[in-house]
Amino acid sequence: MLQTYFDKSEIIVVLLYVVLGLSLNSYLLTFAKPFRFLLTKYSGETAARRSVYLQRIMGMFFYGIVPIVIVLMLLQGNFRDYGTVLADPLETLLWGILFAAIIIPLTLYNAKSSSNLAVYPQIRSKKWTLSTLLLSGLTWAGYLLCYEFLFRGFLLFACLREFGTVPSIAVNMLIYSIAHIPKGKLETLGAIPLGLLLCVVTIVTGSIWFAFLAHVIMALSNEWISLYHNKDIRLEIKF
């Protein structure tokens, strides 16, 4: 049951920050090259690999940490009001299994395409070790958790309180699709049906956890399958 004590200031603050946070993160990644000083002692593949990790950590900051601070300090709200409670783990798991059954076969087909292999995996090291595999997976998961909190938690639930279901989904899909423009036309268009699905299931389950699980399944399955098909990358796993 959605809380009703929020006033108009919530939606104004949320919309302003989502636009600002997405824009600032995109600007810093595209033009300002943040954290360059942290990479000065590295070169080549090491610098490129660490750059990807830092980009994801920066995303965690703008999409997770700052919205959390806004909820707690500025809006004086509760995390429960932004879809963070896993009310029915079994229902979420079943949705995740259904999603995986659909998306993994599609990824198996798409991941070997030249357009996908030109972009993924994001870490372009010619040799992947176990630590690379684990660190990439962990930073992906952390980034996507914050990403889903921003879109399907912070933004969606604030919009639901103010606008109702259909307008809230429309606003979410619009901003979500625009956020994918730097990744190209295909991902921008693909974000529309994906955004619709993630919003609907989030509303049905009352939490962001399916959206997070779905995004992790997509990201990691694509990364691992792309690794397998990329002839320029060698996987060296030593236990």
* E strand intervals along the chain: 127-129, 234-236
Rounded distance between C-alpha atoms, residue 60 and residue 10, angstroms: 22
- At 3, the pLDDT band (50, 70, 90 cuts) reads very low
- The pLDDT assigned to 44 comes to 65
Tell me whether residue 147 is exposed, middle or buried, using C-beta atoms within 10 angstroms of its C-beta: 0 to 12, 13 to 18, 19 or more: buried
Q: Which position has the higher pLDDT, 158 or 48?
A: 158
Joined together, the tokens standing for residue 47 give: 């610098």
- The pLDDT assigned to 76 comes to 83
What's the predicted TM-score (pTM) here?
A: 0.90
- The pLDDT assigned to 35 comes to 57
Q: Of all residues in the chain, what percent carry a pLDDT higher than 70?
A: 90
Q: Is 76 left (phi over 0), alpha (psi -120 to 50) or beta?
A: left
What are the tens digits of pLDDT across the range 59-116? Answer: 999 999 999 999 999 888 888 899 999 989 999 999 999 999 999 999 998 888 888 8
Which residues are within 8 A (CB) of 201 and not within 5 positions of it... i.e. 6 or more apart?
A: 95, 210, 211, 214
Mean of the per-residue pLDDT values for the chain?
A: 88
What are the tens digits of pLDDT across the range 142-191? Answer: 999 999 999 999 999 999 999 999 999 999 999 999 999 888 888 899 99
Joined together, the tokens standing for residue 147 give: 């990403």
Alpha helix positions (H), 30-155: 36-39, 44-60, 66-69, 89-110, 114-117, 130-148
Q: Of all residues in the chain, what percent carry a pLDDT higher than 90?
A: 62
Q: Which position has the higher pLDDT, 99 or 238?
A: 99
- The pLDDT assigned to 12 comes to 94
- At 36, the pLDDT band (50, 70, 90 cuts) reads low
